[in-house]
Amino acid sequence: MDFSIYRATMEDIELLVRHRLSMWRDIHPEFGDPVPGTEERTRMWIKEKLSACRLIGFIAKTRDGQVAGSGCIWLREQPPLPMTSHLETPYLMSMFTEEAFRRRGVAKLIAETAVVWCRSRGYERINLDASESGKLLYEKLGFKAGYSMRLLL
């Protein structure tokens, strides 16, 4: 099956919200229902970042227009660093594939599109946090494990 990638617009906010929350449900089913207000906060955050061009959404669709998946690049602000002229770094996030389209190359196509988008704008790297099910895909695309650490409070 062939898929095409489209840039998300403000009309796609509900889809991006649904996919982001579905991604988290898939990664952590043990959490159950989201914290009250999560959906609305997610909607407002996506709307704000998308309208400011700080979030770039990529939507995969079939030839007949069915949505197969989506993913986003969040241009995260960073302080000046000696190895880059950019004051932001791309962060690949909210990768989600509809169940009927899994294992058909949708996530790979979205990730590759995001890489091309970032490279064409002169970014030196892309960061991401991978789920267990996504690590192999990202490794195949050349992503390397980082040195991120976390303290749960």
Specify the pLDDT at position 120. 97
Q: Which residues, 6 or more positions from 22, have their beta carbon under 8 angstroms from its beta carbon?
A: 96
pTM of the model: 0.92
Residue 150 lies in a domain: no
Average pLDDT on 110-121 reads 97
Residue 152 lies in a domain: no
| Best CA proximity match to 133, nearest among 92, 90, 98, 103 | 103
Range of the domain at 58: 3-140
Residue 14 lies in a domain: yes
Residue 149 lies in a domain: no
CA–CA gap between residue 43 and residue 56 (Å, rounded)? 15
Res 147 pLDDT > 80: no
Residue 148 lies in a domain: no
Domain count across the chain: 1
Residue 51 lies in a domain: yes
Residue 106 lies in a domain: yes
Average pLDDT on 44-67 reads 98
Residue 53 lies in a domain: yes
Per residue in 59-108, pLDDT (tens digit) is 999 999 999 999 999 999 999 999 889 999 999 999 999 999 999 999 99
Q: Is the distance from CB of 4 to CB of 61 less than 8 angstroms?
A: yes
32: tokens are: 């159950």
Report helix angle 38-51 to 13-27, nearest 10: 130
CA–CA gap between residue 69 and residue 76 (Å, rounded)? 22
Calculate the average pLDDT of the chain. Answer: 94
Q: How far is CA 55 from the centre of its chain?
A: 9
Task: Measure the CA angle with vertex 46, ends 76 and 90; round to 5°.
Answer: 25
Q: What share of the chain is helix, strand, coil (3-state, %, to 5)?
A: 40, 25, 35
Res 4 pLDDT > 90: yes
Q: pLDDT band at 148, cuts 50/70/90? A: confident
- The domain that contains 129 carries what CATH number? 3.40.630.30
Res 149 pLDDT > 80: no
